Amino acid sequence: MTNNATLLEHRSNLRKELRARRNALNLSQQDAASAWGLRHLMKIPKFLRAQHVALYIPNDGELNPTPIAEQLWKMGKHCYLPILHPTLERQLWFVEYTSDSILTPNRFGIPEPDRRQAHKIAAQLLDIVLLPLVGFDRKGGRLGMGGGFYDTTFAFHKGKKTKPYLIGLAHACQEVESLDMADWDIPLHRVVTDKEVILTGNN
């Protein structure tokens, strides 16, 4: 097999293991993790200063950012959700998300706002993006679900000190010692878990 094929097979196996870990968490553990994630974010000056923050609707045991969205609304910030681009492959749009937003499932079954009704913002104009992930390491490596949507959307970001600031949200049990990074992977600036804030060195 080629190196890429070997990497993809390894990631697929690791993805199954880490998804099982987070899905083993009960509702009480999930709720506690969300609360702690918010507490940790509130200690990050960049988060407190941000005006335009993208997050996600949780799926498959991901750390739930709903309390984060509620806090951002209280602070008068603008929240956004990713939606699948209607024409460009593996690209995301970001549309405004409010407490009144009506969400409908996309082709993956993940709820998203109506792109025809909601205000859209370019990825480059976001201050912070809170990214879901399956696995992470302390160098900023991120293992996603395998679709490549975030990596494609933020390809402009690689190697540049520019907005947005990328923060992965995860349960501590999703940490691995080291992730093999592919050329197309976009590293995270920080990872926030229920246990701590991890500064990755990519700032």
Q: What is the pLDDT of residues 73-88, one digit of tens each?
A: 999 999 999 988 877 7
* pLDDT single digits (tens) 127-167: 999 999 999 999 999 998 878 889 899 988 876 778 899 99
Query: Which pLDDT belongs to residue 1?
Result: 40
Looking at residue 118, its pLDDT comes to: 67
In the 3-class helix/strand/coil scheme, how is the chain assigned residue by residue? CCHHHHHHHHHHHHHHHHHHHHHCCCHHHHHHHHHHHHHHHCCCHHHHHCCEEECCCCCCCCCCCHHHHHHHHHCCCEEEEEEECCCCCCCEEEEEECCCCCEEECCCCCEEECCCCCCEECHHHCCEEEECCCEECCCCCEECCCCCHHHHHCHHHCCCCCCCEEEEECCHHHECCCCCCCCCCCCCCEEECCCCEEECCCC
Please provide the average confidence, as pLDDT, over all residues in the chain.
89
Short-list 131, 199, 124, CA closest to 154? 124
Note the pLDDT of residue 76: 96
pLDDT at position 42 is: 96
pLDDT(2) > 70: no
Average pLDDT of the residues in 31-37:
96
Return d(Cα 65, Cα 102) in angstroms, integer.
17
pLDDT at 201: 76
| Tokens coding 35 | 């609360």
What's the first-to-final CA gap in the chain, in angstroms? 35
- Mean pLDDT on 42-53: 96
Percent of the chain residues topping a pLDDT of 90: 60
Q: Is residue 9 classed exposed, middle or buried when 0-12, 13-18 and 19+ CB atoms within 10 A define those classes? A: exposed
- β-pair partners for 97: 79
Asked if 188 and 164 touch (Cβ cutoff 8 Å), the reply is no
- Report field, pTM of the whole predicted structure over 0.85: yes
Q: Using pLDDT thresholds of 50, 70 and 90, give the confidence band for residue 17.
A: very high
* CA atoms within 13 Å, Cβ hemisphere of 202: 25
Label residue 32 by pLDDT band (50, 70, 90).
Answer: very high
Domains of the chain: 3-199 (3.40.50.10420)
- pLDDT for the residue 171: 97
Residues 18-46 have a mean pLDDT of 95
